[in-house]
Homo-oligomer: A and B are copies of this chain.
Amino acid sequence: MTNDISAGQVRPVAVTVDLVILTVRGDDLQVLLVERGKEPYLGRPALPGGYIREAETLDQAALRELGEETGLDGRRLHLEQLRTYGDPDRDPRGRVITVAYLALGPDLPAPLAGSDARNASWTSVSSILDGRIDLAFDHFKILQEALERARSQLEYTTIAAVFCPEPFTVSDLRKIYEVIWGIPLDPSNFRRKVTRAEHFLEPTGERRTPETGRPAAVYRRGTARLLYPPMLRSGDIARTHQTAPSLR
């Protein structure tokens, strides 16, 4: 507490915002990556992001970067702060801490409209977890934690619906869970669950005929944000004994 920014004794730090933008395309969970245009990590894939500006909040910076990188209106996506990463050696240029954001949205068009988005592309998350694609900086760790957050949010919130272009069917929604959790769910029990939860789904009264089979009712997102009772992954027992990360 002997330092003071106004006395100029505090070593300043650069602050960036990085985005983990997830979407489900087909049977695949994908994340938006950009190719780095300069050192360090020149040419390597990385999470989109950039420095915060003087007069903006962190949330505004995230929204702005989202627009710049995807060329899309960030207000259509779910966006929330994930966590801040600030290890002193995470950027070889100096002390750069980054506030990571998690953005979730429906199957978006390949990004190309925006100015900075030319080298951005959707990448299968599994190809990164595999090690087939090697991210710059500590972005692998950030992605892992974003994934973990998204997975657990599916349990007790209604965010899964933001992955579905409206309007959508119960099967569309179930597919989101199956892709993100990587496990199959019982269609009939899933249906009961999500239709019983109040204000999760808002019926449109319309129907949609799939390629084959009986037409399905289509819904819009409801107003509820918390899901009660929560959706359960079947691996319950395995998780009971799990040990949380610690700072030690």
CB pair B157 A244 closer than 8 Å? yes
Min distance, Cβ A70 to any Cβ of chain B, angstroms: 14
Min distance, Cβ A232 to any Cβ of chain B, angstroms: 10
* With known contacts A58-B84, A240-B224, A51–B3 Cβ distance under 8 A: yes
Choice from B5, B223, B228, B239 contacting A226 with Cβ under 8 Å: B239
User: In the complex, which residues 51-89 of chain A have their Cβ closer than 8 Å to any Cβ of chain B?
Assistant: 51-59, 62-63, 68, 75, 79-81, 83-88
CA–CA, A95 and B6, complex, Å: 10
CB contacts (< 8 Å) of A248 on chain B: these are 75
CB pair B54 A88 closer than 8 Å? yes
With A199-B240, A199-B241, A228-B240 already in contact, 9 other A-B pairs whose C-beta atoms are closer than 8 Å? A4-B38, A5-B93, A13-B15, A57-B87, A80-B247, A81-B84, A225-B243, A228-B236, A228-B239
CB contacts (< 8 Å) of A242 on chain B: these are 224-226
CA–CA, A53 and B224, complex, Å: 43
Question: Interface range on chain A: under 10, 10 to 19, 20 to 34, or 35 or more?
Answer: 35 or more
CB contacts (< 8 Å) of A1 on chain B: these are 37, 50, 68, 116
Instruction: Give how many copies assemble into the complex.
Output: 2
* With known contacts A12-B13, A81-B84, A247-B79, A95–B241 Cβ distance under 8 A: no
CB contacts (< 8 Å) of A99 on chain B: these are 84, 86, 97
Verify if A94 is at the interface (C-beta below 8 Å from B). Answer: yes
In the complex, which residue of chain B has the Cβ closest to the Cβ of A61? B86
CA–CA, A243 and B222, complex, Å: 10
Verify if A197 is at the interface (C-beta below 8 Å from B). Answer: yes
**Residue ranges of A at the interface with B (Cβ–Cβ < 8 Å):** 1, 3-6, 10-15, 37-38, 50-59, 62-63, 68, 75, 79-81, 83-88, 91, 93-97, 99, 116, 157, 197-199, 223-226, 228, 236-237, 239-244, 247-248
CA–CA, A242 and B14, complex, Å: 37
Choice from B12, B116, B198 contacting A14 with Cβ under 8 Å: B12
Choice from B5, B51, B239 contacting A10 with Cβ under 8 Å: B51
CA–CA, A64 and B175, complex, Å: 46
In the complex, which residue of chain B has the Cβ closest to the Cβ of A229? B236
CA–CA, A157 and B85, complex, Å: 24
CA–CA, A94 and B8, complex, Å: 11
Query: What are 22 A-B contacts with C-beta separation under 8 Å?
Result: A1-B37, A1-B50, A4-B93, A6-B93, A11-B54, A12-B14, A15-B86, A56-B88, A57-B87, A58-B85, A59-B247, A62-B247, A80-B247, A157-B244, A197-B240, A223-B241, A224-B241, A225-B243, A226-B241, A226-B242, A228-B236, A228-B239
